[in-house]
Amino acid sequence: MPEPVTIWVVSDGRAGIENQALGLAEAVGRITPAKIVIKRIRYARLFDRLPTTLKLFPDAMLRQDSDPLTAPYPDIWIAAGRATLPHSLRIKARSGGKTFVVQLQDPKHDPKAFDLVIAPEHDHVSGANVLSLIGSTNRITAKTLADAYMGWEDRLSPLPHPRVAVLVGGRSKAYDIDEAHASILAAEIHSAITNACGSVLLTVSRRTPDTARRILTDALADLPGLIFDGQGENPYFAFLRAADRFLITEDSVNMATEAAATGKPIQILSMERRTLGSGEKFEEFHETLRAKGITHPFNATLSGEAYPPLDETARAAQHLLDAYHKK
């Protein structure tokens, strides 16, 4: 058996960012033995908003609770998010050329500065060392979801079918959900689930405005199901396993990609555009999923069929290993 490759998973620790890098590392580990180490880094407030070009001494700018990025350095560095860029740009030199540097998402930097860039198709990053994916890498596997479900089985297994997971994002640069729109969505979701004699699995995001959160929670509370209010253990992965179908707001590439990895029907909940012309990249992503029969619009009724699960993470992991062995 070959020696395990050491992989550092580097991010600022936010779940949506970290899970992309960790999911890819875990997928590599399913192909070849790997030792995975999670590294979370955060900048002191004074330096956090500085552009990458001005973070000339990034180690000294980190908060004291950040994980150390010191030798021995890993064989493979998988990083995601703006916070990692100053370190990703330096780790090759620091490791004496040993570390294979992988940057996820659009780095907004010359891809040649990294060994491999893995970015969503809708970001239009190009280069000889760029792999474009539909959506984002993730941690979704049958085992991951089954393990998560075990802790919630007593509460989820009695719920009537169809179990409808409602995954709600919130305010972003491109989208928002105000009180009026939240009320419309809540009424339509309630009607659709009631007519299907089903149950609801509702989870909201930290980006969901408080008013929208309250409206959705109050409106759906009388349905059979489980509503996660953000307190305690997050049942998100358990919801992915338990659900028969999904209703997902259009602002999140991660949630749509993760749900698509299950092969279960997905309908997209519309949101409000914050500015004229915003959200075009998201629309391009959703158009790709619609063309593949993965997602459908939500029009107050439940619809859509099963499809082959989307597994771009496995493709990315194999591509990464092929590139690593060629370095």
Please give the average per-residue pLDDT across 118-139, as a whole number: 96
Say what the pLDDT of residue 68 is.
96
Asked if 5-134+312-326 and 142-297 have one fold, the answer is yes
pLDDT tens, position by position, 197-235: 999 999 998 888 899 999 999 999 999 999 998 788 899
Contact 111, 131 (CB under 8 A): no
Please give the average per-residue pLDDT across 272-279, as a whole number: 69
Does position 1 have pLDDT exceeding 80, yes or no? no
Q: How far apart are CA 129 and CA 143, in angstroms?
A: 31
Say what the pLDDT of residue 45 is.
92
Say what the pLDDT of residue 277 is.
56
Would you place residue 170 in the very low, low, confident or very high pLDDT band (cuts 50, 70, 90)?
A: confident
Write down the mean pLDDT value for the chain.
Answer: 94
CATH fit for domain 142-297, picks 1.10.150, 3.40.50, 3.90.550, 3.30.70: 3.40.50
Instruction: Find where tokens 């909940």 sit.
Output: 269
Query: Tokens representing 136?
Result: 């984002």
Q: How far apart are CA 307 and CA 294, in angstroms?
A: 6
Q: Taking Cα atoms as reference points, which of 144, 137, 140, 145 lies closest to residue 317?
A: 137
The domain segmentation of the chain, as residue ranges, is 5-134+312-326, 142-297
CATH class of 5-134+312-326: alpha beta
Does position 278 have pLDDT exceeding 60, yes or no? no
Would you place residue 276 in the very low, low, confident or very high pLDDT band (cuts 50, 70, 90)?
A: low
Strand order in the sheet with 34-40: 34-40, 5-11, 76-80, 100-104, 116-120, 130-133
Does position 281 have pLDDT exceeding 60, yes or no? yes
What are the distances in angstroms from CA 176 to CA 64, 94, 169, 172, 220? 34, 42, 9, 6, 20
